[in-house]
Structure 1
Amino acid sequence: MKDLLCKVLDLQPRWTSENTEDMQVRGVSIRQELPGLLRGHEAALAAALGTTLDNLGVEGRDGTGLKTEIPWVRVCGREESPSATTGWYVVYLFSASGRRVYLSLNQGTTIWTGGVFKARRPEDLRARVGWALPLLAEEMATRQDLLPSMQLDATRPLGRGYGPGNVAAIAYDRDNLPESAVLLADLLFMTRLLGALYRAERLAPHIPGDPAPEVLEAEQSAATIAGRRTPGGARPRRSGQGFLLTAAERKAIELHSVHMATEHFKAQGWSVKDVGARESFDLLLRRGEEWCRAEVKGTTSDGTDVILTRAEVEKQRDCYPHNALLVVHSIKLDRTGPAPTTSGGVLHCISPWAVEEADLTVISYAYRTPLGQPASREASPTLAVPEQRQRAEAPGTR
């Protein structure tokens, strides 16, 4: 392994996007020789990851067509990280200067929304790193050589993009590379950290930096209804950043948030009637001559985005200013038992609630085609599923 790492590093200063003879040699090492060497230890890697041999992924890339400045070789779970653009993985990253190679616990920089891959913002990547670090703190404390950042000497945006996604890295200088046995021991250590992240991800209803599960579900459902093809075929419950909510989990969150909202309004002297099963709002409130129609949204995320239907938006606009939006965010969801359970949550309320057009984002459209209609017909967002981006800050209603 040591010799192969040196070979790639020595070629890095001769990088060009063209497929020169040097880049062809580098490509063979990255795509064939290094992955092949690592697959020779696949049993140990699978055990460290806590997965089966079938799910263990080992691959290297140096660019399709144009050659990339920073080639890589990664180890991952195929299900958890079906491509290098999504999920967590352990990866060798070779600096552009050839001075060092990093072994990094890193992550994909995009997220599949159901229709397209969206680039994650650097702050979202750092938020995910912030979620991961406490989970790994005890085991990471056994090492003194783990780095929070990397110096890849990259001149291209793609190469610079690895930095915000780094959870921890080990740096190997070209002139002081350890022996292969040490390199393998380090790889197994980092792979154990990766396995711990995968296990935590399975239980996490939401990871900071990810879209709210409800928003992601709406986007993917809209794409499915529209007939969009998805990577790998049918839409999986796993989406590269954890698991989507099940019907039972969504129901548990809904009941929890409505209960908290009901208690909140009762404490302010309102009589509360739950009408969510038959109306396009959740709670009908009365207090003397006053009345109010409240929409309740519960989420395991930070509450930045919630999903509204067109009917909900129209109803709230019709009854303004006798209306309210109540968001219960950061709900804790326990998936370990036979049935999901909920606890906690932070309650915020806006009342009166003016639903501003600027705060709505259309997720999908219903399009009236020219068939049987005048040719001048245009797209109509009649079935749009919007996101509400207005933060609720006022703690009560008026």
Structure 2
Amino acid sequence: MSLHDLFRQVMAIYEQEKREKLSKERRSFQLVTRAIPEALKTLPFLPPDRYMVKGSVGQGVWTDVPWVAVMDQEVTDSTQRGYYIVYLFSEDMRRLYLTLAQGVTETPKDEMERVKRGIRQLIPAEERVRTDDDIRLGESKRAKDYERSVVAYIAYSFDDLPSDEQLARDLETMIDYYRQYVERTEPMAPPEQVFSYREAVEHIHSYISAKGFYYTKEEVANLFLSLKTKPFVILSGISGTGKTKIVQWLAESVGATEDNGRFALIPVRPDWNDGSDLLGYVDIKGEFKPGPLANVIIEAENHPDKPYFVVLDEMNLARVEHYFSDVLSVMESRRWENGRIVSSRLLPRETVGRDLFLPPNVYIIGTVNMDETTHPFSKKVLDRANTIEFNRVRLDHLDFLRDVPTVAPQPVGQELFAARYLHLKDVYARCPELVETVTNQLVEINRILEPLGAHIGYRVRDEICFYLAYNEEGKLMEFDKAFDYCLMQKMLPRLSGSDARLERALKQLFVLCAGFEPDGDYSGALDVSYARYPKSAEKIWRMLRRLEDDGFTSFWLGA
């Protein structure tokens, strides 16, 4: 469909669809967020390695002024700041404006006026491109804010929308003015920060705290180390503990947002039963329709120097092994080639039009609840992830709300999160003593778990070593604290059952973690302050209590 027809369709149906609940199935949503951006990306003067194209009809509710933006990534990667080309639809859908505008959310008014004057000086007086303030988008606050942000514009009407050729010429003209100003000024996008691991954790923790969420610095360090160890993490816990938010704020703190396409929230549906819902499918016309994860992967391949974060929300509403198995398998195929991490093919050329791989700069985090509507995880899934539990709730902790300074995002490159170890020999070359110490401890734990068939294999051993090596390199936690997290996240999630063998194993693990034997009375409070591995000891204690009370226990059941 032509660009002319796509714009005209939006203007014809948006007001009617806006009366209904916002949904991704609405035609307006598909046109503004997918069809029009894809059509613009085919224009030869918008190379994908430089320009990002993104459209929006609102988040959660319909916006009064839908838009499609073209952003020079050397200037900005977000419509909240910087300056960019953007098509703005008027509220009454009678007019469409091709504009050169600025982000109104994070751009101070004096900066906005300075940029406006600078760009307008570059644009010669001509009838087609206007530099006055007579643009009329509507009466809402959003419309007025957008009007103030516009530097220059070309106005179109619904009744006289030009041809595709004229639309392309107009856009190229506006892009030319955009480039001229970019070349005369310093890029407005903040430079990427080079953090040490400790500095990164400090920054992320401060940013999250400033947003009004309470997580300890140790919890942030654990999430960071888990992502660096393996780009797949599971966050479990009761509803409302902020599992999704901690990932969103972590991503935002390092410059990855929904706005710039580097953070994606993908709600999992119960009817997903194969990878097509996530990766895409070929329709009856033989055209590939990319799924939400495929879209992120394609963007990440185009920008290998930036990290991308994906949240699979309510991941176990469908069986993970059914819809996610292809991704898990390809994730395990990662290997070094010429100093770079590469993977096996995720989708073939025959399906997508080109071979699609799993880039190393995509980090997938699944949030899960365990109730009657969800599915349990197989060991295949648990072996491949760090499972972080968020069940701690302190409603009376309000100190973090008082006098918390605002913390600005600090964009970082992929290097901060990039894996340095894929095989045990990688980490052994740097930390032989650590590998031997960890292995000896895991051998002892495996002796306890082997009668249950729950002992770990080489993959888990290797990834625990990676985690602890990164921790030692960054000096984020003491060794025992870090190993405690590994025990909680890589080994205990495998345990469930009702027989005497499990009870014996849990008691032996408790002795290893706490340093003393349980007395059989699990009803009282447990003092783990002197335990070697207090988090694991407390979790095992709760599992033993559940076993005594109900005759069955599992890592995934609450106390």
Determine which structure has the larger helix proportion and give its number: 2
Pair member with larger Rg: 2
TM (norm. structure 1) is 0.46
TM (norm. structure 2) is 0.34
Determine which structure has the larger strand proportion and give its number: 1
